[in-house]
Amino acid sequence: MAETTLTRTQEDQWITQGQVFQIYSHFDNLPPTQQYLRLQLFRDEHIEFLTKGLRYLAPSFSVLDANRPWLCYWILHSISLLGDSVDDDLEDRAIDFLNRCQDKNGGYGGGPGQLPHLATTYAAVNSLVTLGGQKSLSSINRGKLYSFLLRMKDKNGGFRMHDGGEIDVRACYTAISVASILNILDDELIENVGNYILSCQTYEGGIAGEPGSEAHGGYTFCGLATMILIKQVNRLDLASLTDWMVFRQGLEGGFQGRTNKLVDGCYSFWQGGASALIQRLQSIVDEQVLVSDEVEEIESDSSKSSADLSEEEHCLSGTSPHADEHCSNEKDSAGLQNPSDQVNSDWFGVSSIGTRGNAEIEPLFHCIELQRYILLCSQVEGGFRDKPGKYRDHYHTCYCLSGLSVCQYSWSSNVDSPPLPAAVFGNYSKNLLEPIHPVYNIVFERYKEAREFFMLPS
């Protein structure tokens, strides 16, 4: 018999699974009292690690010189998720630093004097929203920022990350998210964005960074959230997107970012957050599946010729010569083509979570298993990591905590109501985090403050 040779990816997968299952086996053999202690969120240690990072970073962090607003966001958002905040001095220093990153012509660079960039603009705005308060929020020059967003807009509908930069789904999300939370989103910014996002949905169902690339968890979240914000989410094939997404949760309990890749703690939010968004779109998914079933029934009915089809059936099958005009109107009236009456960004934070009428919808992924992976395999005593064998960092700390929050509130009927104890893995009082607005990944109370603040005239 020929010897089977494993690929490098297969070898890495076996190693990772072995490390994870060894941790789980060790945990399962602990006495109940030690299990209880091991499942606690190390709040004090995490806050110490995060606060220290905001005050001082070692010279090795110089490679992230163009990402300093991101470091602010990852740290400040993590602290906010833990229900804490920085002191007044550190808050003032953070606001001053981010203000110096703001370009005179709009947008934020990776540091003072650096080129404005959509990614660091998103990070800076989210940081300032997370800090909250008059001084922080009023420091954002919305007029100049709007001009910057328009300059980044490409004729194909997408956005460039910076002058002469790449066009991708990440750029679309960061631009639209910032415009939305600052209340400067308009038709000119939205124009053709939906078409660009649609061109990036792959045969697998997930969304790629750009047309023709591989579906990816981060880009899937960005594309889905963008389509929600511009009220065109029903244009995506949500059923296939859901299938692709739920199969990214692996044996370890955590999520992988792409097909046949390793588990990674950061996808606890990118995939888990996208799942939370889809959960709130279940009525639209159901309607899409119904339409798809009707199309299949029409196509399989060989006894009917195209000439015998009713106008409605022509719409469903796409054979009507006036399909674009007539069927669009029909879908509008059904609430499919323009779901603005059903979906708005505020609804994703304050209205019913996971309901179909009066019936509760279960989360689309195994929330307890994901929490177990985050707490036992990603958490260290002060920060979180990608997976066993990796080092902690602020990025994974931010997105592991964000994913943990998504898990904890996935069964809740309302964001203002605390989750049931059964939804929180481990010590309820120690582990419960603040709820986030899953479209923006901002703690919900800070989102509400910003929304009210920016409703005022400029």
Residues with catalytic roles = 216, 258, 261, 264, 266-267, 386, 393, 396
Q: What is the DSSP string of 44-94?
A: HHHHHHHHHHHH---GGGGGGGGGHHHHHHHHHHHHHHTT----HHHHHHH
CA distances in angstroms from 10 to 2, 6, 244, 351, listed in the order given:
18, 6, 20, 43
Contact 101, 68 (CB under 8 A): yes
- What does the angle CA 156 – CA 159 – CA 163 come to, to the nearest 5 degrees? 115
Q: Residue 24 and residue 27: Cα distance in Å, rounded? A: 5
Paired residues of 255 in beta bridges: 249
- Which residues lie across from 44 on neighbouring strands? none
**Cβ within 8 Å of residue 138, ≥6 positions away:** none
β-pairing, 355-356 vs 359-360, is: antiparallel
Q: Are 107 and 115 in contact (CB under 8 A)?
A: no
Residue 151's contacts (CB-CB under 8 Å, 6 or more residues apart) are: 106, 163
Q: Quick one: tokens of 86? A: 């920085």
Residue 249 pairs in a beta bridge with 255
CB 80 within 8 A of CB 130: yes
Q: By 3-state DSSP, what share of the chain in percent is helix, strand and coil, each rounded to 5?
A: 55, 5, 40
Give the tokens for residue 32.
Answer: 């109940």
Q: Are 86 and 94 in contact (CB under 8 A)?
A: yes
Burial of 355 (0-12, 13-18, 19+ CB in 10 A): middle
Task: Give the phi and the psi of residue 82 in degrees, each rounded to 5.
Answer: -80, 0
Other C-beta atoms lying within 10 Å of the C-beta of residue 150: 15
